[in-house]
Amino acid sequence: MAGDTGPERVLVAASFVNRVGNGLFNAASALYFALVVRLPAVQVGAALTVAGLIGLCAGIPGGHLADRRGARTVMMVVLAVQAVSMAALVLVESWTTLTIIATVDQMAAAAGGAAWGALVVRVGGERPARFRAKLRTFVNLGVVLGTVGAGLALAADTRVAYLLLILGNAASFALCAALLLLLPRYPVLATPPRRRRRPVVADRPFLAFTALYGAMGLQYPVVSLLLPIWISEHTEAPRWTVAALFAVNSLFCVLTQTRIGSRIETPHDGGRAFRTAGLLFLVSCPMMALAAYTPVWAAAGLVLAAVFVHSLGEVWESSAGFALGFGLAPDHAQGQYQGVLGLGFSAGQALAPAILTTVVLGLGTAGWLLLAVFFAAVGAVGPSLARWGTRTRPQPGAAAEVTG
């Protein structure tokens, strides 16, 4: 079921359309810049790194603007900017042009991420975490479908095919913005008297959760970056296993996100779910490491089983993030709180490749075991953090449920 109300169905549809476009572009972007634009991989990586670092700075101001001017309005503006910046990629011929366009896109994406979180709270009403779980299900499905479309373009391997992928992604941003016109104009919530203008900077429990959430976010590149390298360099598993693990990960998240996430709503639920996620990663990481010591017929099965366990941990971790991220944020400042949370997560993702490829791969099996213990230790803090956050909310029960 896409949603229980009209606004929920609109937001689900908008998110789905946008993610289909993202799937079209993300799966083929590297090849476009290398084969069509003919930029060296080092230059492409440098441009995207610069853009990503600058873009991080736009999340918190974008969230604050969403709180004061309306999340729907801010979201529509940033989607329009992304539609234009994405379409402009067809004009890229140099590193400088790519860097400028990518920076504009990443700044809009960061601001839009914070505004989107605030919008989810208003549309989701009394159960935003439950609604966000539904959204994530359709996000995963949209990415899968977009990736299939990208595969067709990659098979064609022509300039026109790549350009159609880029313009298709640009159109998805524009259509997403148009769909948001169907949402009601939610009134801006007034800041309570004697409340800080930017309360998140003084909210130590939420800042602590942001740090932990960014640290636990290292689990995402485990499947997309670390495991494929480990499979190719240290195991006898066939190369098709890499493609299979992506399919298992995406499909499992699509099938289980709503079922599990709908039961994890309060910060108390989120704290326990965070701990559960850490324990699941404690199991999955050693399984991935053991694939290097098994025969070829067993290595593929062990890797797929490990990804199954890891995907289950991913669902619990993301559900915990929704419950704590929304539940600990006050109604009037959801935008800036989601901006801070997004900043912490993005910072973790920026550091993840260096950490995983140097520490974990450098230490081999010991690195995998160290990573497993790290995830379990981070997750173990979840319940106590939830209790601390709930105890320090301004009003009793405000962290348990957020009203839109």
Instruction: Give the confidence band of 404 by pLDDT, cuts at 50, 70, 90.
Output: very low
**Structural domain boundaries of the chain?**
6-180, 199-391
Distance (Å, rounded) from C-alpha 356 to C-alpha 74? Answer: 35
State residue 242's pLDDT score.
67
Distance (Å, rounded) from C-alpha 315 to C-alpha 138? Answer: 14
- N residues, the chain: 404
Instruction: Give the confidence band of 66 by pLDDT, cuts at 50, 70, 90.
Output: confident
Distance (Å, rounded) from C-alpha 308 to C-alpha 237? Answer: 16
State residue 1's pLDDT score.
45
Same topology, domains 6-180 and 199-391? Answer is yes
Instruction: Give the confidence band of 265 by pLDDT, cuts at 50, 70, 90.
Output: confident
State residue 198's pLDDT score.
59
Q: Is the pLDDT score of 270 beyond 50?
A: yes
Q: What is the pLDDT of residues 275-320, one digit of tens each?
A: 999 999 999 999 999 988 888 778 888 888 999 999 999 999 999 9
What interhelical angle do 296-327 and 382-391 show, nearest 10? Answer: 10
Instruction: Give the confidence band of 382 by pLDDT, cuts at 50, 70, 90.
Output: very high
CATH homologous superfamily of 199-391? MFS general substrate transporter like domains (1.20.1250.20)
Q: Is the pLDDT score of 399 beyond 70?
A: no
| Beta carbons of 63 and 118 less than 8 angstroms apart | yes
State residue 400's pLDDT score.
36
Q: Is the pLDDT score of 177 beyond 90?
A: yes
Instruction: Give the confidence band of 226 by pLDDT, cuts at 50, 70, 90.
Output: confident
Q: Is the pLDDT score of 397 beyond 50?
A: no
pLDDT averaged over the chain? 83
State residue 142's pLDDT score.
85
Structure token pair of residue 165 = 């992928």
Least confident of 87-101, 133-147, 228-242, 342-356: 228-242
Q: Is the pLDDT score of 211 beyond 60?
A: yes
Rounded mean pLDDT, 74-94: 91
| Beta carbons of 167 and 90 less than 8 angstroms apart | yes
Q: Is the pLDDT score of 326 beyond 90?
A: no
Distance (Å, rounded) from C-alpha 210 to C-alpha 213? Answer: 5
Least confident of 7-11, 18-22, 104-108, 240-244: 240-244
CATH homologous superfamily of 6-180? MFS general substrate transporter like domains (1.20.1250.20)
Q: What is the pLDDT of residues 10-52, one digit of tens each?
A: 989 998 998 888 878 776 776 778 777 888 867 877 787 788 7
Of 359 and 215, more confident: 215
Q: Is the pLDDT score of 2 beyond 70?
A: no
Q: Is the pLDDT score of 188 beyond 80?
A: no
Distance (Å, rounded) from C-alpha 399 to C-alpha 393? Answer: 7
Least confident of 22-26, 235-239, 339-343: 235-239
- Per DSSP, 126 falls in state T
